[in-house]
Amino acid sequence: MIWAALGALLSLTVLTGAMLGAALGLTGFAILHFFAGGSMRLGVQAVFNVLGEFTLTSIPLFILLGDVLVASGLAGGIYKALSPLFARLRGGLLHTNIAVCTVFGAVSGSSMSVSAAVGSVAYPELIGRGYDKRMVVGSLAGGGTLGLLIPPSLSLLIYGALTDTSIGKLFLAGVVPGLMMALLFMIYIEIKARRHPGLVPAEAPLPWSQTLRATLAVWPILVLILAVLGSLFLGIATPTESAAVGVAAAALLGFTMGDLTLARLMQTFVNSARTFAVIAFVFLGAVILAQSISVLQLPQKLLEGISSVGLSPLLMLGVVVLIYLLLGMIFDGLSMMVMTLPVVFPLLTGLGYDAVWLGVVITIMVEVGMLTPPVGMNLFVLVGISKHQVNLAQASIGALPYWLLLMLGLVLLTAMPGIATWLPSLSYK
């Protein structure tokens, strides 16, 4: 009865096109009112309690960090620095797209920030050189997803805050899978470029001395990565503190080496606040829904049901992945994660899956959602950057190989959980 009510209420409220936060929150209120003795106040109290948590304050700061980097125009410098190195490979500057997204991912927590920052520099450059449009957009959309997996990651932060899992462990767990995905993307690009030379013009390689000299220009961003991730992993700073240090360092770099001005920095604060408000409203609604689900102990009941039916944990994981794939078609990735975590997390950890590993797996599913039309946010960003020279269908086809590679990454991660859990196990004993 309660499951039918929950499903019907969620479908009804979400499909009307109501603001997602309100739809989730009202569903939570209804569940609390009709099934938990009218205890709606518990939902509001949970919102005030969760929003007051210090760890959560790192979310707007990491959004700000990404936006300051974009406003500073530092992506152009990094792109120029890494281009000569990757021009030596047959995939040429398509590899640079992935490499720069990887580096940018290590300072920005948002997939869309990375796609926007790297895409705005790379798209006109590569189209001007005669690269295939679909290949370019695909590599940028796929590369952009690395922003969510490679720490700092908004997805892992929100996951950690909602499930009370160590953010430090989650960030460490994202490193190897993030690098693995970058490598898989590059292998695909190289194979595709060798098989279809017409899609990728041959780049003239610079002498090694010039290549190395150019690559050294990437040092400011390495300092930034060290400031943000180094302080966090060494235990010197909390996630919020490392984000604040990162914002200060990014602003300093932006003023001294980039195009950042005081007016642009002020505008960045406003833009970040707006982005944060949109995420925060969904988060607020999800907290109320989570509270209602938690009060009624629904995941525990579901777990008992699954145990009695005898579904294996692997099959259950497969069902969850399938649900995420379907939801990814109509929800943006982060919203999808926030609204499903209250059930998915206790369910899968109850079946024996590691909480940190699960955070990485769900983040990959969020990334898949970013590339799944019709609501693939990275695809939207790149269609915009291309000034509609590439439409959504073309962008989706271009991103399809990366979508498939992310699914392959998921399979590898399931077969070898150590890919995610090895690094945190070294640091947190």
Please name which of 143, 148, 134 lies closest in space to residue 86, comparing C-alpha atoms.
Answer: 143
CB of 91 to another protein, least distance (A): 30
Residue nearer to another protein on the CB measure, 266 or 315: 266
| 382 is a contact residue toward another protein (CB under 8 A) | no
83 vs 111 by CB, closer to another protein: 111
Q: Report the C-alpha gap between 413 and 364 in whole angstroms.
A: 10
What would you measure as the largest C-alpha separation in the chain, in angstroms? 74
Binding mask 35-54 for another protein (x = CB under 8 A): -----xx-xxx--x--xxxx
Residues 6+ apart with CB under 8 A from 303: 346, 347, 350, 351
Q: Provide the H-helix boundaries in 73-166.
A: 74-86, 93-105, 111-128, 133-144, 146-149, 154-163
Minimum gap (Å) between residue 326 Cβ and another protein: 12
Contact between 282 and another protein (CB under 8 A)? yes
**Given the complex with another protein, which of 377 and 423 has the nearer CB atom?**
377
Q: Please, which of residues 211-250 interact with another protein by CB under 8 A? A: 236-237, 240-241, 243-245, 247-248
Q: Are 421 and 356 in contact (CB under 8 A)?
A: yes
Task: Please select the residue that binds another protein; options are 272, 292, 378, 396, rule is CB under 8 A.
Answer: 272
Instruction: Write the DSSP assignment of 215-263 as a string of letters.
Output: HHTTHHHHHHHIIIIIHHHTTSS-HHHHHHHHHHHHHHHHHHHS---HH
Map the footprint of another protein across residues 111-140, applying CB under 8 A. Answer: 112
- CB of 249 vs another protein, minimal distance in Å: 10
Q: Identify the residue among 7, 8, 15, 235 touching another protein (CB under 8 A).
A: 15
Q: Contacts with another protein in 173-202 (CB under 8 A)?
A: none
23 binds another protein (CB under 8 A): yes
What interhelical angle do 154-163 and 355-370 show, nearest 10? 140
Backbone angles phi, psi at 135, to 5 degrees: -65, -40
Distance CA 45, CA 247 (A): 31
Q: Least distance to another protein from the beta carbon of 344, Å? A: 19
292 or 421: CB nearest another protein: 292
The site for another protein (CB under 8 A) is made up of 13-23, 25-26, 29, 40-41, 43-45, 48, 51-54, 56-57, 60-61, 64, 110, 112, 236-237, 240-241, 243-245, 247-248, 269-270, 272-282, 284-285, 330-332, 335, 377
